Amino acid sequence: MTRTNPATEESLSSVASHDGDDVETALATASETFWMWRDTDLRERRRLLETTAEVLCDRTDEFARLATKEMGKPIDGARAEIEKCAWVCDHYAERAPEYLADEPVGTEPETESFVATEPLGPVLAVMPWNYPFWQVFRFVAPNLVAGNVGLLKHASNVPECALAVESILREAGFPEGVFQTLVVGSDRVDSMIRDDRIRAVTLTGSEPAGRAVGQTAGKELKPSVLELGGSDPYVVLDDADIEAAAAVGARARTLNSGQSCIAAKRFIVHADAYDAFLDAFVTEMEALTVGDPSDPDTDIGPQARADLVDDLHEQVTASVEAGASVETGGEPLDRTGYFYPPTVVTDVPPDAPLASEEVFGPAAAVFRVESEAEAVALANDSELGLAGSVWTEDRERGQAVARRIESGAVFVNELAKSDPRLPFGGIKNSGYGRELAEQGLKAFCNEKTVWVQDTADQP
């Protein structure tokens, strides 16, 4: 396929695709390798993860530049992404013995009962372009240390990042076949899920893609984890620290140039704080630098593809036509590259795209509410439920509001983020299942009940 640098619109070199024979070979290799890998001592699996973290740290700049070239990520954010990949490897290398330990269960006298955690087999990972390394490594680290083997079908616009992941693991010493990248189109995903050698599937992507994968996995009775979109609420209550909420809010909306499932998207502000917050928020958004993603001073780079700019602008335009007002931004930048400015829109009708759809770019919708109860109701008025943020000077109040928001995670006085130590995932149309932490490691494991007693104990 034709590939383009999103910042310069220059053509990128083509990457050879894998054909049907390559896929068959990869599946056979994964199936055979699994039986060796699952019996590899846990200490060795942990050591290889530690070495992987070292490779990532040693070559951070190289891999960061690759992400910047292929999908336009600002270079500082790209470096942070690679560092986070090293962190998740170190986390599971350290905590795997705890997460994988047998769990004793008291049952009968003179009987030993416990739950053993065992790998399932080859797992297919279907990953998106927006965090081309992190999305993969948050799958890789828990699954490989648990004894599963992985096959990656990455997004078509980041094939070099996809191949780099496999090369990193091979450089770290992982045996051939433990993790394989397949440069194939989405049309091969369904048949791979249906193949008996694939035992589970995980997808991070759009809701339609998630429904398709979930349907096939369900028909095949295979476990799946789906991390889909988000329309995350960012609730600013009347007692919030306005300056902090505005500064963090601008960062929360524009991380990765706004192309993040857990970016703050709907800013829900109490009437008593609304005017001050809006002024501060607009100021923060306008202060951000849009430009060359390879420049460390750049805050917002290009959108990853031309069609993504078109989609974003269509959402903004349709919302304005429905009655919304643009406070800043609102038009694609007239320059080479797929750039859209930081945009703030107010008075958004509830059925307008900026209120009712996921917005994947640096455009924020700000809503005015009259009470805490109205803020919670509006936060929950979405088919999506991935994450959220609540701002208040009262920690107990923040926790109480967080408990009432329908989502997979809520952060009080902080932007929503993924963390290797915490489970990550959504509810409603944001998907199901969890990645990261102990829950993520066990998502594709057999939690096997084992009951042991002497024959002499039989009646």
User: Which amino acids are annotated catalytic?
Assistant: 227, 261
Q: CB neighbours (10 Å) of residue 437?
A: 19
Which H or E element spans position 116? strand 112-119
What beta strand segments (E) does 263-305 contain? 264-270
Cβ pair 125, 152 in contact under 8 A: yes
For the record, the structure tokens of 269 come out as 């502000």
Q: How large is the C-alpha radius of gyration of the chain?
A: 23
Rounded CA-CA distance 31/184 in Å is 19
DSSP summary character for residue 409: E
CB-based contact 137:88 (threshold 8 Å): yes
Range list of H helices, 173-232: 189-194, 207-219
Q: How far apart are CA 72 and CA 260, in angstroms?
A: 13
Q: What is the token pair recorded at 454?
A: 């002497």
Give backbone dihedrals phi and psi of 367, rounded to 5 degrees, phi first. -120, 140
Cα dihedral 210, 437, 376, 330 in deg (nearest 10): -60
Tokens of 263: 């970016």
Please state, in angstroms and rounded to a whole number, the distance separating the CA atoms of residues 437 and 92: 8
3-state secondary structure of 17: coil
